Chain A
């Protein structure tokens, strides 16, 4: 077996050394003698035997070929995961052994590489969101959102969260699930294109721990959070802002400037591929005063014994390995390598590249909205949006997306898939356009849609 270095001769020699000090050990089987007899398997389980690289590659490539990859067709799917161009340097760098095959930097003397990029990542996330501090990443945006609600409960010592109708329905499901088990209360507004600010504000009471609002929202709308922030703060509640398309922060007002207390985001758009939903990278930022209530790993700056600048994981007393049942969260991992990809990509972009990328995304989406809005029977519902918007179609969107796929266009996400059973969303289609789409792609989409609706 190509990954196993021990030879039969090695095994024999090693067993002799072991047997010399440990009575009764003559074979590998003897090493498993603490396992109850009936639970020991005599031979291999019923699965295929070992394969060479070539055979594995053949089998998996065959499976992969059954999927329509995003890059092979005009592609307009978003709703929380976005296809952007990732420069070649990113994947090359994250595959360096020293990054790929190292562990959590618990020995800072020999993991300064990881620690320094985490510090850079935290800095970049704080800058983008307009917040004071950020952690070293969460599993993804949705789980980060759940953790943010728990954090708000800790800070306010209240247990009731209000979720806006703009929140991604699967994020909402994650928050509801976590709250359900933790014994907390969630009041979720029905899915709404923009929910009316006053609808949210009227629900904030002295029991409210936090209000969770997504912008751009699940339907693509942009939302001014300032009034909600003020209303929440007046009642002693926090505002949690959710951003699932982080490229939007190159062009729109960051949540930190609109009074958010916690910002959670999905960072997949920068540096990371679609990967059928994971691994992604959760962004988590907050105000300085709440830093000790944050979940997840944090990297901090310090000095070594010789006075040289260096980095360490810090404030670990919040974490499960020290605090155990009193930890701020049960989280042990972050999304290390994905956060590295994020950091490298954002470094390549820089201020100029990132803001321009955002402008291109917006321009492409505006162009697409114009083209699709001109298709008979199609209505664009959004006033303000970034790179994603919602169409009202004359027929159920799920059927139309299927028909578009038959014409080799991946034309968005039917709202009904994300919010099954919700009345009035059947004909709504969420459509995204990023820098990957050409004029021809958008023209092909409009033509295909026209054909399908004809």
Chain B
């Protein structure tokens, strides 16, 4: 049973066992506009929660994507290299960025669930 959690920086994380799949939310991709490039970390990199994990670029902006949890990067979405548009097309699915091995499951408790994120976003507009 997988569960999706959100950060206030518009990253999402889907947890399956101790593996976290991470991407940016649909709201974020909409705000960015056409994504033209995604810079991903190397597999094996250790990243602490809140640190920069990736960079996503549109024509007019470059935004850091922060790791919602601490751990080691075990896979990156190489499809994004050739077709960054994937982020716009399916941000919550095939447009995922990285997979991490979660070090501390308790960190997930600090993140928002879907309803909280939804009302958080509504509060932004």
Contacts and interface: CB of A to CB of B under 8 A. Distances in A.
Interface of A: 292, 316-317, 322-323, 326
A162 to B, nearest CB: 25
Contacts of A292: 37, 39
17 contacts: A292-B37, A292-B39, A316-B59, A316-B60, A317-B36, A317-B37, A317-B57, A317-B58, A317-B59, A317-B60, A317-B61, A317-B62, A322-B60, A322-B61, A322-B62, A323-B62, A326-B62
Contacts of B60: 316-317, 322
A322 B63 CA distance: 10
Prevailing SS type, chain B contact patch: strand
A316 B59 CA distance: 7
Contacts of A326: 62
Contacts, number: 17
Interface of B: 36-37, 39, 57-62
A350 B57 CA distance: 39
A317 B37 CA distance: 10
Contacts of A316: 59-60
A-B pairs, 7 with minimum CB distance: A317-B62, A317-B57, A323-B62, A322-B62, A322-B61, A322-B60, A317-B61
Given A292-B39, A317-B58, 7 more contacts: A292-B37, A316-B59, A317-B36, A317-B59, A317-B61, A317-B62, A322-B60
Contacts of B62: 317, 322-323, 326
Contacts of B61: 317, 322
Interface hub of A317, A322, A323 (most chain B Cβ within 10 A): A317
Contacts of B57: 317
Nearest to B63: A317
Contacts of B59: 316-317
Nearest to A318: B62
Max count, chain A CB within 10 A of own CB: residue among B36, B39, B57, B60:
B57
A69 B44 CA distance: 62
Nearest to B58: A317
Contacts of A322: 60-62
B27 to A, nearest CB: 20
B54 to A, nearest CB: 14
A341 to B, nearest CB: 30
A319 to B, nearest CB: 10
A291 to B, nearest CB: 11
A85 B58 CA distance: 45
A292 B37 CA distance: 10
A322 B60 CA distance: 7
Nearest to A292: B37
A301 to B, nearest CB: 15
B73 to A, nearest CB: 16
A107 to B, nearest CB: 15
A450 B49 CA distance: 75
A322 B62 CA distance: 7
B1 to A, nearest CB: 39
B43 to A, nearest CB: 16
Contacts of B36: 317
A101 to B, nearest CB: 27
A317 B33 CA distance: 14
Nearest to B64: A326
A316 B62 CA distance: 10
B90 to A, nearest CB: 23
Nearest to B62: A317
Nearest to B60: A322
